[in-house]
């Protein structure tokens, strides 16, 4: 579904990505793991057209999406839940969800989908008229996820959903992602620092170190790999 080949990105003099290639097949959960500053967020931001690469190609459903602006990438069917959630704190919960459906014009269906999000996250329904700024961190993460789903993305990308959340909450978010994948066949590209949690729900994973992919493989295999266990799972 998504094919990235030999992607290079530089900020000023810093080479954030040095030729990464990855593949996200339809219906799978792919995880991109790595430490802070490895280039995970940069990869997602480049896919969304926020950052311009110096070299490489990004294809989605067989068509080039490189050089597109964010809104055009969204219209192609990719949604990003950005790092730090970034919900619109000056809009209500419902407005945040409605904005997620900005590219759609089917009003009735949008209304039904908002209902569906509220069924998925009942906590949000209780707060539908409140401004998103009054939500807790966990609720904001649910809202950010719901908002991204409102565009009916073919590919859902999530940047560090468990960042700043209590372990119980982040486990909840991840199990929701697994559920979405299993019940709707939602394709997901997940970025996580918490490798253990990510590997537990992913089908396939890539490990990114200072701008290069150093290891890749089925999640179950990586979870038993000695190097991975040492560096990312803290098992010696």
Q: Which residues bind another protein (CB under 8 A)?
A: 48, 50, 69-71, 74-75, 79-80, 82, 86, 88-91, 95, 98-100, 102-103, 147, 151
The candidate with the shortest Cα–Cα distance to 159, out of 8, 12, 7, 34, is 34
- Toward another protein, which CB reaches closer, 18 or 70? 70
Closest distance to another protein from the beta carbon of 25 (Å): 24
DSSP the chain: -EEEEEEEEEETTEEEEEEEEEEE-TT-EEEEEE-TTSSHHHHHHHHTTSS--SEEEEEETTEE-TT--HHHHHHHTEEEE-TT----TTSBHHHHHHHHTTT---HHHHHHHHHHHHHH-HHHHHTTTSBGGGS-HHHHHHHHHHHHHTT--SEEEEE-TTTTS-HHHHHHHHHHHHHHHHHH--EEEEEES-HHHHHHH-SEEEEEETTEEEEEEEHHHHHH-HHHHHHTS---
Closest distance to another protein from the beta carbon of 150 (Å): 9
Closest distance to another protein from the beta carbon of 168 (Å): 27
- Toward another protein, which CB reaches closer, 72 or 200? 72
- Toward another protein, which CB reaches closer, 86 or 184? 86
Closest distance to another protein from the beta carbon of 55 (Å): 21
- Toward another protein, which CB reaches closer, 71 or 227? 71
- Toward another protein, which CB reaches closer, 36 or 183? 36
- Toward another protein, which CB reaches closer, 84 or 217? 84
Closest distance to another protein from the beta carbon of 104 (Å): 9
Closest distance to another protein from the beta carbon of 137 (Å): 16
């Amino acid at each position: 579904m998504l094919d990235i080949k030999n992607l290079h990105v530089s900020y000023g003099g810093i080479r954030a990505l040095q030729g990464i290639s990855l593949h996200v097949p339809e219906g799978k959960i792919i995880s991109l793991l790595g430490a802070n500053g490895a280039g995970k967020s940069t990869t997602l931001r480049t896919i969304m057209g926020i950052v311009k690469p110096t070299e490489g190609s990004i294809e989605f459903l067989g068509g080039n999406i490189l050089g597109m602006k964010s809104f055009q990438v969204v219209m192609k069917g990719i949604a990003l839940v950005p790092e730090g959630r970034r919900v619109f704190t000056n809009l209500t919960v419902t407005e945040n969800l409605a904005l997620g459906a900005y590219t759609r014009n089917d009003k009735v269906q949008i209304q039904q989908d908002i209902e569906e999000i509220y069924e998925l996250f009942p906590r949000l329904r209780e707060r539908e008229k409140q401004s998103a700024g009054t939500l807790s961190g966990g609720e904001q993460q649910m809202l950010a996820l719901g908002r991204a789903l409102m565009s009916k993305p073919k590919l859902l990308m999530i940047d560090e959903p468990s960042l700043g959340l209590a372990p119980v909450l982040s486990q909840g978010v991840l199990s929701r992602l697994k559920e979405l994948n299993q019940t709707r066949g939602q394709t997901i590209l997940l970025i996580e620092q918490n490798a253990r949690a990510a590997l537990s729900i992913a089908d396939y994973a890539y490990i990114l170190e200072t701008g290069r992919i150093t290891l890749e493989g089925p999640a179950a295999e990586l979870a038993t790999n000695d190097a991975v266990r040492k560096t990312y799972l803290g098992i010696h």
